[in-house]
């Protein structure tokens, strides 16, 4: 904190006669509010001037690529089936509406980070809201969500290998291979070193989806698809949940922002991510559904026919692996920072630091492999994760962040009233998605005949 900002903060305290309290955002002018919220705490990485390993070096475009790679991965493969579940017209409205809403909630997360610069993960944000209990609650929820996403990548890797090889061996073996490869690629400790992988991940999924769209356009005669379809609560809500999951990288935004060279650049990174998200999701989901119809599979790469599906899965392998690796990196970093924050181990390359990093990653990937084998149905696993976690991290919790930052100012002006209703709406959406989503995903998993845990059968 610069002396100038510190002095300005003390002056404001003297004028008002009391210490500044969180939520009183009208006390500070915008510059002090963004740069120096009170009380001030240093972030988990501390002063890195003489550090062996420097974390806070990400440029805005590297941050954007990381967010793109974590967002545009498995979620896009479920979108054509989501369109089939709710109908073309409702799906387009849901995709665009949720895309805009998630862009706004991502912006709120960025503002919360600027308001409290010490935040390096959801646990720190939970501590701001609810003290020690909030820290543990948010830490546990974020970690569980990340592990479930890692598991979904292993599920997809198994499906891809079964498709490519014609189910040449037991699916459990493919799961172990996915675990080992993912673990090895998760070894770098800084997001800067992972950002180059993110470019390969986006290129991979973009090319795979493009190949699939071209293939279904050439091979299939478009079926008659109407603007709406007959559906039921389970199918419709599962489909809507999978659309939410496609935007569900908000839980890692704090972790990525913590390694930005300038956290104020996050808005540019978010704009890059969301513009690519919404455009690609809308095009891929609508085109594949319109050419395949109501029987479109999930993951959608299977819609291209036996031969082209193998090609598409082969092209998609990098993103299936890398997007999971990035998620695993964030999960490992959350624990690593929790254990070593405030010590010189954070920036060391000694045996304890490196050994701890490897041990944490290995443990998390083993747990995710167990979950993948226990719930081997891709679509239902996504719905379960959305209900438990994405509903809160994407919609509910950012709404709470805004309400907390603007406490006592909810109805101070017309714009504040409008934003208050928007954020209350976000919170309500999170609650509804969580409650109904748990019921529908649980019923879908129970009713699915393919839900055989730890089976050698093909999932491709």
Look at residue 6 and tell me whether its pLDDT is greater than 50: no
The confidence score (pLDDT) of residue 336 equals 92
The confidence score (pLDDT) of residue 377 equals 62
Can you spell out the DSSP letters for 144-193?
A: HHHHHHHHHHHHHHHHHHHHHHTS-S-HHHHHHHHHHHHHHHT---SHHH
Helix (H) or strand (E) holding 29: none
The confidence score (pLDDT) of residue 378 equals 56
Which of 2-16, 37-51, 360-374, 438-452 has the lowest average pLDDT?
A: 2-16
Phi/psi of residue 15, nearest 5 degrees: -65, -40
The confidence score (pLDDT) of residue 111 equals 95
The confidence score (pLDDT) of residue 14 equals 33
Work out whether the CA dihedral 278, 283, 288, 290 comes out positive or negative. positive
Look at residue 160 and tell me whether its pLDDT is greater than 50: yes
Report the C-alpha gap between 308 and 164 in whole angstroms: 10
Report the C-alpha gap between 108 and 401 in whole angstroms: 7
Instruction: Name the residue ranges covered by the structural domains of the chain.
Output: 1-40, 53-447
Q: Ramachandran region of residue 408, left (φ > 0), alpha (ψ -120 to 50) or beta?
A: left
Look at residue 187 and tell me whether its pLDDT is greater than 80: yes
Mean local confidence (pLDDT), 266-292? 92
Mean local confidence (pLDDT), 380-403? 84
The confidence score (pLDDT) of residue 334 equals 92
Report the C-alpha gap between 270 and 456 in whole angstroms: 41
Look at residue 22 and tell me whether its pLDDT is greater than 50: no
Q: Which of 360 and 460 is assigned the larger pLDDT?
A: 360
The confidence score (pLDDT) of residue 455 equals 58
Look at residue 362 and tell me whether its pLDDT is greater than 90: yes
pLDDT cut 90: percent of the chain above it = 35
Q: Highest-confidence range of 20-34, 150-164, 172-186, by mean pLDDT?
A: 172-186
Q: How many helices (H) and strands (E) does the chain have?
A: 16, 0
Look at residue 143 and tell me whether its pLDDT is greater than 60: yes
Q: Which CATH architecture has domain 53-447?
A: Up-down Bundle (1.20)
pTM of the model: 0.84
The confidence score (pLDDT) of residue 246 equals 84
Can you spell out the DSSP letters for 234-249?
A: HHHHHHHHHHHHHT--
Average pLDDT over the chain reads 82
- pLDDT classification of 36: cutoffs 50, 70, 90: very low
Mean local confidence (pLDDT), 427-443? 84
- pLDDT classification of 376: cutoffs 50, 70, 90: low
Which 3-state string (H, E, C) describes the chain? CCHHHHHHHHHHHHHHCCCCCCCCCCCCCHHHHHHCCCCCCCCCCCCCCCCCCCCCCECHHHHHHHHHHHHCCHHHHHHHHHHHHHCHHHHHHHHHHHHHHHHHHHHHHHHHHHHCCCCCCHHHHHHHHHHHHHHHHHHHHHHHHHHHHHHHHHHHHHHHHHHHHCCCCCHHHHHHHHHHHHHHHCCCCCHHHHHHHHHHHHHHHHHHHHHHHHHHHHHCCCCCCCCCCCCCHHHHHHHHHHHHHHCCCHHHHHHHHCCECCHHHHHHHHHHHHHHHHHHHHHHHHHHHHHHCCCCCCCHHHHHCHHHHHHHHHHHHHHHHHHHHHHHHHHHHHHHHHHHCCCHHHHCCCHHHHHHHHHHHHHHHHHHHHHHHHCCCHHHHHHHHHHHHHHHHHHHHHHHHHHHHCCCCCCCCHHHHHHHHHHHHHHHHHHHHHHHHHHHHHHHHHHCCCCCCCCCCCCC
- pLDDT classification of 380: cutoffs 50, 70, 90: low
Total residue length of the chain? 460
User: What tens digit of pLDDT does each residue of 69-118 get?
Assistant: 888 876 787 888 888 888 888 889 999 999 999 999 999 999 999 999 98
Mean local confidence (pLDDT), 357-386? 80
Question: Token digits for 432?
Answer: 């509804």
Angle between helices 88-115 and 233-246 (to 10 degrees): 40
* Terminal-residue alpha carbon distance, the chain: 54
Which one, of 201, 164, 414, lies nearest residue 319 by Cα? 201
CA distances 196 to 107, 331, 459, Å, are 24, 19, 30
Mean local confidence (pLDDT), 187-212? 87
Q: Which of 424 and 78 is assigned the larger pLDDT?
A: 424
Question: Token digits for 45?
Answer: 């990485």
- pLDDT classification of 292: cutoffs 50, 70, 90: confident
Question: Token digits for 42?
Answer: 């240093």
- pLDDT classification of 353: cutoffs 50, 70, 90: confident
Look at residue 21 and tell me whether its pLDDT is greater than 70: no
pLDDT cut 70: percent of the chain above it = 85
Helix, strand, coil abundance in the chain, percent, nearest 5: 75, 0, 25
């Amino acid at each position: 904190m610069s002396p100038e900002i510190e002095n300005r903060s003390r002056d404001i305290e003297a004028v008002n006669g009391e210490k500044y309290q969180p939520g009183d955002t009208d006390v500070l002018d915008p510059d002090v509010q963004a740069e120096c919220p009170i009380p001030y705490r240093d972030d988990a990485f501390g002063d890195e001037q003489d550090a062996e390993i420097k974390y806070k070096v990400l440029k805005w475009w590297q941050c954007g690529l990381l967010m793109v790679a974590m967002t545009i991965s498995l979620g896009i493969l479920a979108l054509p089936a989501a369109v089939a579940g709710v109908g073309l017209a409702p799906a387009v409205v849901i995709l665009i509406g949720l895309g805009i809403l998630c862009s706004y909630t991502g912006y709120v997360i960025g503002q919360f980070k600027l308001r409290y610069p010490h935040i390096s993960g959801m646990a720190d944000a939970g501590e701001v809201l609810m003290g020690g209990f909030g820290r543990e609650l948010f830490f546990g929820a974020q970690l569980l969500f990340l592990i479930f996403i890692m598991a979904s990548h292993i599920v997809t890797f198994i499906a891809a290998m079964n498709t490519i090889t014609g189910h040449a061996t037991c699916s459990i073996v493919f799961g172990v291979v996915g675990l080992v490869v993912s673990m090895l690629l998760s070894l770098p400790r800084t997001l800067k070193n992972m950002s180059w992988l993110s470019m390969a991940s986006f290129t991979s999924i973009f090319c795979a989806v493009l190949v699939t769209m071209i293939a279904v356009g050439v091979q299939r005669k478009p079926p008659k698809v109407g603007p709406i379809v007959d559906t039921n609560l389970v199918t419709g809500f599962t489909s809507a949940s999978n659309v939410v999951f496609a935007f569900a990288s908000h839980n890692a935004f704090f972790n990525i922002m913590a390694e930005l060279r300038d956290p104020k650049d996050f808005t540019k990174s978010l704009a890059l991510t969301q513009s690519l998200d919404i455009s690609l999701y809308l095009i891929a989901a609508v085109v594949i559904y319109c050419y395949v119809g109501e029987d479109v599979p999930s993951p959608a790469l299977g819609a291209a026919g036996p031969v082209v599906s193998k090609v598409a899965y082969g092209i998609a392998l990098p993103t299936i692996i890398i997007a999971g690796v990035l998620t695993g990196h964030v999960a490992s970093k959350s624990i690593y920072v929790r254990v070593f924050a405030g010590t010189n181990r954070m920036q060391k390359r000694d045996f304890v630091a490196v050994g701890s990093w490897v041990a944490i990653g290995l443990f998390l990937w083993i747990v995710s492999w167990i979950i993948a084998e226990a719930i081997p149905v891709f679509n239902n696993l996504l719905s379960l994760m959305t209900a438990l976690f994405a509903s809160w991290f994407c919609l509910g919790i950012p709404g709470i962040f805004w309400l907390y930052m603007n406490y006592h100012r909810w109805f101070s002006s017309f714009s504040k009233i409008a934003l208050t209703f928007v954020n209350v709406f976000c919170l309500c959406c999170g609650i509804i998605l969580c409650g109904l989503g748990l019921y529908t995903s649980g019923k879908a998993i129970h009713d699915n005949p393919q839900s055989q845990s730890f089976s050698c059968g093909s999932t491709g």
